[in-house]
Amino acid sequence: MAIESFTRREQKYVISSKQYEALLAELTPYMRADKYGVNGHYTVTSLYFDNPNCQIYYETKNKLAFRQKLRLRVYNDADLNSKAFFEIKQKHKKVVNKRRMVLPLYEAERYLANRESPIPLTDYETSNLQVLKEIDYFQTLYKLEPEMIISYDRTALHGINDAELRLTFDFNLRCRHDDLSLTNGAYGDHFVDQDDVILEVKVNDSVPLWLTRILQNLACEQRSASKYCTSFELLKERSLLHEAQFEPISIGGR
């Protein structure tokens, strides 16, 4: 069963594909492929939420001490019967807390479709009713609506001697805001250089010394890299360019 609540620390790095290949070679004695996907490889597609004031974006962009996101996530090619993961991701300084529950994607879509005329939460098929109540409260409080879909291909590793140590490498990062159905696949506009890889180091306590040395030796640069903010800014910029391109021409100064 998927873990439905956990707390951990995360460090992000933006590395090149060459550094990625070198890292894999160095990590072989310490890490193994994630049991999910094929040899730790799978595709992640997530629906993110925000409100008309872009509150989630600004909380993240301004790096508030406490900030949170709501997202609905599926893996690989999904249909309405696939498992979906509905989760609140909270961050306080460098500590990340996640509360999530699992439900069929058709149930998640039914929940979103009935936001204007809510039906009892107990009517939904879910792995954790309490988490659904928290999601519903968060969405109502912030007046959240579906905002964009972000997709990427991921390679995930776990520590051989420390199962809580996890590394993920994300490639081929794409986003879209004009088709918000998760059943339509992982496509969109690339929002980072296609040679860039986003590495996340996830630990319960501290990063092992051996891993710190490997990252330093390969000149891996620790850097804040919010997928949501970067996607939001790209899509906003393109939307403004589109509006400017098709702005009606004023005739006679009117």
pLDDT digits (tens, 9 = 90+) for 81-109: 999 999 999 998 778 999 999 999 999 99
Question: For 130-162, what is each residue's pLDDT tens digit?
Answer: 999 999 999 999 999 999 999 999 999 999 999
Residue type, 88: I
Listed in sequence order, the residues at least 6 apart from 41 whose beta carbon sits closer than 8 Å to its beta carbon are: 153, 154, 155
Mean residue pLDDT of the chain comes to 91
Nearest CA to 144 out of 71, 204, 228, 244 is that of 71
Token pair recorded at residue 7: 């707390």
Nearest CA to 195 out of 11, 10, 6, 18 is that of 18
What's the rounded mean pLDDT across residues 237-254? 51
- What are the chain's domains? 5-245 (3.20.100.30)
End-to-end distance of the chain based on CA atoms, in angstroms? 64
Beta strands in 76-222 (DSSP E): 83-92, 95-104, 145-159, 166-176, 189-190, 196-203, 221-222
What's the rounded mean pLDDT across residues 200-207? 92
Question: b/e map of 65-87 (b: 16 or more CB within 10 Å)?
Answer: eebbbbbbbbbeebeeeeebbbb
Nearest CA to 11 out of 232, 159, 149, 205 is that of 205
